[in-house]
Amino acid sequence: MEEAEALCTRLTIVVGGKMRCIGSVQHLKMKYLGGYTLDLQLKTGITNDILNAVKRHVIDMAIPSASIIEEHGLFLRFSIPSFCRDGDSLSLGSIFRALERLKSDPSLMVQEYSLAQSTLEQIFISFAREGDHGYG
């Protein structure tokens, strides 16, 4: 998928022998996922109370449109849609300001964060999951 994203100007995703989408990489990302993935790595020695506080802080205060999609030990992954719940557009600047405040709060023990746009692989996986459930 990374090679296709780097080399192609238009592409098609085929799942189960059926064409599911066609377009430029950016068009497909915006149409089918249109958001960001936030990864947080927490410091060692974190307690469950602090872990829960970090999750609440991200979802309730820092980035209210975020939802947790993965959790493994000291690693948290959130999905952030392109639009907030009230329909206002999220700016990358506002996301990064919230993340810097989160990281600078010593009580939350955030070691590092990573923010990335959705990938073609995530689009393919979402189509494949729909196929597994008989959709489409």
The pLDDT-based confidence of 136 (bands split at 50, 70, 90) is: very low
Cα 108 to the chain's mean position, in Å?
20
Q: How far is CA 107 from CA 43, 67, 101, 110, in A?
A: 11, 21, 11, 9
Percent of the chain with pLDDT over 70: 89
Domain range enclosing 13 = 1-34+118-136
Residues 29-78 have pLDDT tens digits of 878 776 888 999 999 999 999 999 999 999 998 888 899 989 999 999 99
Spatial distance between the Cα atoms of 11 and 55, rounded to a whole number of angstroms: 36
For the ranges 26-35, 79-88, 103-112, 124-133, the lowest mean pLDDT is seen at 79-88
Q: Is the same domain home to 104 and 42?
A: yes
| Contact between residue 73 and residue 6 where contact means Cβ atoms under 8 Å apart | no
- Spatial strand order of the sheet with 75-81 comes to 67-72, 75-81, 35-42, 110-117
Q: Is the same domain home to 45 and 25?
A: no
The per-residue pLDDT for 91 is 78
Q: What CATH code is carried by the domain that includes residue 89?
A: 3.30.70.3400
Q: Is the same domain home to 5 and 61?
A: no
Q: Is the same domain home to 50 and 30?
A: no
Query: Residue 128: pLDDT above 70?
Result: yes
Q: Is the same domain home to 96 and 63?
A: yes
Q: Please, which residues have CB within 8 angstroms of residue 109's CB and are 6 or more apart in sequence?
A: 42, 43, 45, 46, 50, 54
Q: Is the same domain home to 26 and 90?
A: no
Domain tally, the chain: 2
Q: Is the same domain home to 46 and 20?
A: no
| Contact between residue 33 and residue 123 where contact means Cβ atoms under 8 Å apart | yes
Average pLDDT, the chain: 85
Q: Is the same domain home to 47 and 113?
A: yes
Q: Is the same domain home to 2 and 40?
A: no
Residue 101's CB is within 10 A of a number of other CB atoms, namely 13
